[in-house]
Amino acid sequence: MEIGLIHYRVGETDGVSLEMTKWKKVLEKIGFKVYLIAGDMGTSAGFKIPSISYSNTTNYFLKHKSFVDLNCWNEDQYICEMESYTTHIYDQLKELMNLDIMIVNNIFSLAHNPAAAIAIYNFCKDRGIKIVGHHHDFYWERDYYANPTNSYIRRVLQMYFPPKDITHVVINSITQEKLKIENNLDSVVIPNVFDFNQEQWEIDDYNVKIYDKLKISKNDLIFLQATRIVKRKAIELAIDVVSEINKDLKKYVGEKTYNGKIITESTAAKLLLPGLPEDIDYLNTLIEYAKRKNVELKLASSICDNIRHESKGIFSLWDFYAIADFITYPSVLEGFGNQFLEAIFSKTPILIFEYPVYKKDIAPLGFEIVSLGNKAELTNGLYKVNQDTIIKAKEQILEILFDTHKTSESVQKNFELGRKYFSYDMLEEKLRYLIK
C-alpha cells in the first residue's frame, strides 16, 4: 500500500512538519510505502507542488481576497480566479505517483489555501484515493478567517473545511467534541507523539559551539523557547519570568545548578529563540519588551534547522535542547503541544501556561511542571498574567534549578509518563486501527 502525506511544507521545525515525519517513520515501520508531498520540502525528500507553498504569491493574494477585502473585484471575478488556481493545483497533482491513501495535514482545516483543499479533494475522489484528514488546527480558531468576504468562500468553508465524507483525525479531545457537536462528524484522536526510544540529546563537541556562536557564557542560564515566533505563543510571559529570575540571581552566587553550572557575579538568565519568526511585527515588539525588562534575547533561527548542517554552522533544533537549563512554553493556544513532548523527552524542567488542551488532555496524566495558570489577558498587544503568578513561578523555578535530587526525580517521572502515553508505540497502534 502506498500513502501520501501532504501539507503546505515539510522538513522544517514547525509542529506539523515534525509530526508528518513521525507518521512517515511509523507507517514505514508497519510496512507501507510513504511519500511526503508539499509546497516547500525543506530538508526532506519528496514530491514538490509549488502552488501550495506558504510563500506562493497567488494564494497569498487570493487568501486576502477571501478573508480580508475583495476590494475592486466582484464575486464573479473572484470565482474565476479561484477556479483557475484550483485547476492549476489539480494539474500539478496529476504528476503524483499512484496512491492508495492521502493523509491531508491541515489543508482541510486551517483554510490557508482553499483552492488546494478543493483540488486535493477532487483529485483523490477522481482517482479513488482514500482521504484521511489529519487536522492539527482549525480556521475557526483564528480571527483572520472570521469574516469571509463573499458567498463562494463561505460555501467552500462549509463543503471542504472539513469535507464530510472522509476519515477525520484530530489531535485533542476538545476538537473531537466540537467537530461532533457543530459538524456531526466522528473523528479519531491521535495526539502528538515523540520517539522516546531514541538516544538522549547531550552536549557534544559540536553543539557546545552554540555558546560562542551566540555569545553566551557557560555559566549563564539558558531558558529555551523552541516554538515559532507568533503571538499565540505568548513569549512575553517567558520574558516576564526570566526578568524576575535575573533580579534574584545574585543571591545564588557560588551555588551549583541541578546540571552543574556555577552561578557567578556575571551569570544572567537569557531567553533563547531558535524558532521561525513568522510574525516580524510581533518579534520586534518582543525585542523592545525584552529591553525594557532587562532580558537578553538570543535569536537563533538563522543557525537552526531540523537537522545539523555542520559545514554551514547550522545546528539542529535538538542541539538547542541539549544546552538548555529550562524550557519555557507559555502558549495560550495549542492544538496539542510538540514542545511539551520535546521538553519532557530532553529531561529538562518546563514552564507552562495551561492552555485549554494541556489542561484537559495532558495535565490529568500527572506531569510535573511550573505553571503560569490558565488565565491571561491581552493588554496593549501583549499577554499578561497576574504578577503574583509570575513571582510564584520564579520561586518554583529557582527551587528546581538548585535542587538536584528533586529535579532529577521530576524530569524522570515526566519522561516515563511521556513514554507511556505519547510514544511511537502508541502511534503505531492507532495507525494500524486507522488504516486497516
pLDDT tens digits along 4-37: 999 999 988 787 888 999 999 999 999 999 999 9
Output the pLDDT for position 306: 83
Q: Are residues 283 and 386 in the same domain?
A: yes
Cα distance from N-terminal residue to C-terminal residue, the chain = 11
Q: Are residues 133 and 69 in the same domain?
A: yes
Q: Residue 379: inside a domain, yes or no?
A: yes
CATH number of the domain enclosing 96: 3.40.50
Strand pairing partners for 382? Answer: 379
Q: Are residues 222 and 305 in the same domain?
A: yes
Q: How far is residue 369's CA from residue 363's CA, in Å, rounded to a whole number? A: 9
Per DSSP, the three-state class of 216 is coil
What is the domain extent for residue 392? Answer: 209-423
Q: How far is residue 326's CA from residue 272's CA, in Å, rounded to a whole number? A: 10
Asked if the model's pLDDT at residue 115 lies above 80, the reply is yes
Confidence of residue 426 (pLDDT cuts 50, 70, 90): very high
Q: Are residues 19 and 166 in the same domain?
A: yes
Q: In total, how many domains does the chain have?
A: 2
DSSP string computed for 244-290:
HHHHHGGGGTT-B-TTSPBP-TT--EEEEE-S----HHHHHHHHHHH
Pairing between strand 221-224 and 269-273? Answer: parallel
With CA atoms as reference, report the closest residue to 344 among 313, 321, 319: 321
Confidence of residue 402 (pLDDT cuts 50, 70, 90): very high
Output the pLDDT for position 315: 97
pLDDT tens digits along 272-321: 999 999 899 999 999 999 999 999 999 999 999 988 999 999 999 999 99
Q: Are residues 317 and 373 in the same domain?
A: yes
User: Which cell is 302 given?
Assistant: 538563522
User: Which cell is 173 given?
Assistant: 479531545
Q: Are residues 262 and 118 in the same domain?
A: no
| Identity of residue 90 | Y
Percent of the chain whose predicted confidence (pLDDT) is above 90: 91
Output the pLDDT for position 12: 82
Confidence of residue 436 (pLDDT cuts 50, 70, 90): confident
Q: How far is residue 55's CA from residue 40's CA, in Å, rounded to a whole number? A: 9
Q: Where are the alpha helices (DSSP H) in 371-403?
A: 387-401
With CA atoms as reference, report the closest residue to 241 among 356, 346, 329: 329
pLDDT tens digits along 79-88: 999 999 999 9
Show which of 138, 161, 190 is a domain's final residue: 190
Q: Are residues 217 and 186 in the same domain?
A: no
